[in-house]
Structure 1
């Protein structure tokens, strides 16, 4: 008996033969072991066959359920991996947007400093007074044109908002066309410095918001990557037969073929 057991454990071929013999002889053994089966072997064989069939059906149901679960896990892992790849692309786009915002901060900061330096230089020369000009309608008309042209040029350079030109043409917003051109230049430089400071502060706020979005996008990407690795590890940890694995692969291929 020990020799037989050792042979069955160590040699796969005898084990397979033994399994086949047991598969076909088990119903007969069950019939012979049951007293009712000895008295009514036909009924016992029918009951045994029914039992075996139901057992096989339940086994097939469990196998089909396992295959469906594995196929669903494969699809989920693939979808999460695709989502992680797309999230990585979104991070790159947000990174580019933030870089553009950071470049704008540098540009607006430089423009603001230059405008502030011009205004500081003009204020330093203000105590020397303004040259004398005649107080006549032609002079005031010239001053008005000088103011309009100065504001229009500053708007074109981006040193003043477009609303400034509308205000100066309407004679509102604190613009005084009666001032001497030297005084008007000082007013223009002060307004430009104030506007460019506002533009720079807005650029800084936009850059911070863009950086916040980059961080959010990175966290989303990393979370999806971790979920993809976890989903793939769930698949690898399952016990799947070679036939099941082949079917799962075919199901996944068919799924992606339809996608």
Structure 2
């Protein structure tokens, strides 16, 4: 018995022959296993064939299921890999937006500080008073033209909003063309400093939002990268279950749209 067992375990041909004999004798064993089957061997053989067919169908269904799961795993790994790559590009773009916003904050800070310094110097000069000028219609016309030109020039340089030009033309929001040109200059510089301060505040807020967007994009990139790594590892583990094109086993591979 030990010699027979060793031969069956080490030699594939006797094992195949033995399995074939067992399969061929299975109907006889089924018939002899029950008195009812002995009395009706034809019915027993039909039942045996049906049992073997159902078993083969279950085996094929299980194989198809595993192949389908392997194909789905490979497809998901490819899709999440593409998504992770796109998330990486998006994170780079948001990083660039944040850096650009930081540069705008620095520029706005410098412009505000320079405007504030000019306003401080103008206040110091105005402390000495303004020269006397006769208040004639020509003088008022000159003062009006001076104010309009000063406001327009500041708006062109970005030191005042465009709306300030219309306000100065119509004497709204504190613009008074009757003031002495020296006083008007101080008023324009004050308005410029206030406007550039607000520009700086908006730039700081925009930079903060860009930083948050960059953080979210980075977290999304990292999350997808981890998910892609897990999906790729799983797909590689079950890739051997997918039949190669042109092989007989490929006939079991399900068709996917």
Structure 2 contact 168–175 (Cα < 8 Å) conserved: yes
**Deviations for 1:142-194, whole angstroms, at most 9, x for unmatched residues?**
01000000000100110000110111111111011111111111111111011
How far does residue 238 in structure 1 lie from its aligned partner after superposition?
4.5
TM-score normalised over the length of structure 2: 0.88
Change in 2 beyond 3 A, CA 1:220/1:242: closer
Which residue does the alignment assign to 2:50?
50
Which residue does the alignment assign to 2:230?
230
Question: CA RMSD for the aligned pairs?
Answer: 2.6
1:135 to 2:135 alignment = yes
Which residue does the alignment assign to 1:69?
69
How far does residue 239 in structure 1 lie from its aligned partner after superposition?
8.8
Change in 2 beyond 3 A, CA 1:243/1:9: farther
**Deviations for 1:1-39, whole angstroms, at most 9, x for unmatched residues?**
212222332334443443344333333333344444444
TM-score normalised over the length of structure 1: 0.87
SS at match of 2:200: helix
Question: Which aligned pairs between 1:1-259 and structure 2 lie closer than 5 A?
Answer: 1-238=1-238, 241=241, 243=243
Runs of 5+ in structure 2 lacking a partner?
none
**Deviations for 1:211-258, whole angstroms, at most 9, x for unmatched residues?**
10010111111111222222233334449546389879x979x86xx7
CA distance in 1, matches of 2:15, 2:98: 68
Query: After alignment, is 130-139 or 37-46 more displaced?
Result: 37-46
SS at match of 2:243: helix
Change in 2 beyond 3 A, CA 1:239/1:58: farther
CA distance in 1, matches of 2:208, 2:253: 46
Runs of 5+ in structure 1 lacking a partner?
none
SS at match of 1:227: helix
SS at match of 1:179: coil
Structure 1 contact 67–244 (Cα < 8 Å) conserved: no
SS at match of 2:127: helix
**How many residue pairs end up in the alignment?**
254
